[in-house]
Amino acid sequence: MEESINFVNGYGKVNPSDDETTSLPAQSPPSNRRKSIAVIVSLLFFVAIVAATIGATVVHHRRSKPSESQSSSVKTTDSIKAVCAVTPHPESCFTEISSIDSDNNAVDPEIIFNLTLRLAVNELSNISSLPKTLISRSNDLRTGSALRDCATLFDDALSQLRQSVESMRVGTPAGEEKVVLTEGKLGDLKTWISAAMTDQETCVDGLEEMGSTAVDEVKMRVQRSNEYMSNSLAILANIETLLDKFGLHLH
């Protein structure tokens, strides 16, 4: 939208320079002068069109299409891309969020942040039974004790993330549910998500210290949730800039 307005303004600026060409020294015969004015004007016009086209294509890409025909999936695609761009794993961030956003709700940074947390919660729930499974397979006592620690740490990580999701949940008078980030909540969210990441690291470190054979499998399985959490933290770290881009601000 902004770019198309600038385009109109920029285009308008062709006219003042028009006046300048009109006031060129009146030495050449009138017909030649008129011709050269016409050439200059059409050159300026051409340059303006080219500049506007390049600008619209480069800067705005999909949004320069008429908004009427814009499907909501195009809007969410752009929104998810813009938000994922600040994360350490923009591509997988985009793919994963798109895949769970079946209702095309991902229109703003708060909702997209909520989705990255959902991915992390899903993944952590999925791996919370892993230590138990590994314990049942292992008869090494030292590994067993490290794995029991992991079970506790994974539970803690999961509750940190669930707490994060809950803290943003706000009911509207219309009975709908919204995700609301406030300045005050930002600090808590960073603390909780970082704590969940530390829980996972502590588990892996413990297994490594014990020289556990389970360490590689656990490392592999926590990789994704780790990635989702680091994406979440990156979004939080950039949330004000991101909201600004969407014409929004912290509540």
Ligand X SMILES: *[C@@H]1O[C@H](CO)[C@@H](O)[C@H](O)[C@H]1NC(C)=O
Contact footprint for ligand X (CB under 6 A) = 105, 111, 114, 118, 122, 126, 165, 177-179
Ranked by CB distance to ligand X, the top (closest) residue is 118
N-to-C CA span, the chain: 24
Residue number with CB closer to ligand X (25 or 171): 171
- We find the least distance from the C-beta atom of residue 130 to ligand X, in angstroms, to be 9
Residue number with CB closer to ligand X (19 or 177): 177
Find out whether 236 and 190 touch, Cβ atoms under 8 Å.
yes
Q: How many alpha carbons lie under 13 Å from residue 119 in its C-beta half-sphere?
A: 27
Please, which residues have CB within 8 angstroms of residue 136's CB and are 6 or more apart in sequence?
Answer: none
Please, which residues have CB within 8 angstroms of residue 155's CB and are 6 or more apart in sequence?
Answer: 128
Q: What is the CA radius of gyration of the chain?
A: 28
- We find the least distance from the C-beta atom of residue 210 to ligand X, in angstroms, to be 23
Which helix or strand (DSSP H or E) is residue 178 part of?
strand 177-179
- We find the least distance from the C-beta atom of residue 168 to ligand X, in angstroms, to be 7
Residue type, 139: N
Residue number with CB closer to ligand X (105 or 138): 105
Residue number with CB closer to ligand X (105 or 163): 105
- Rounded Cα gap, residues 210 and 218, in angstroms: 14
Instruction: At 115, list the tokens.
Output: 């989705």
- We find the least distance from the C-beta atom of residue 73 to ligand X, in angstroms, to be 16
SS3 category, 212: coil
Residue number with CB closer to ligand X (40 or 180): 180
- We find the least distance from the C-beta atom of residue 199 to ligand X, in angstroms, to be 18
Please, which residues have CB within 8 angstroms of residue 196's CB and are 6 or more apart in sequence?
Answer: 120, 124, 156, 157, 158, 160, 161, 229
Residue number with CB closer to ligand X (52 or 150): 150
- We find the least distance from the C-beta atom of residue 179 to ligand X, in angstroms, to be 4
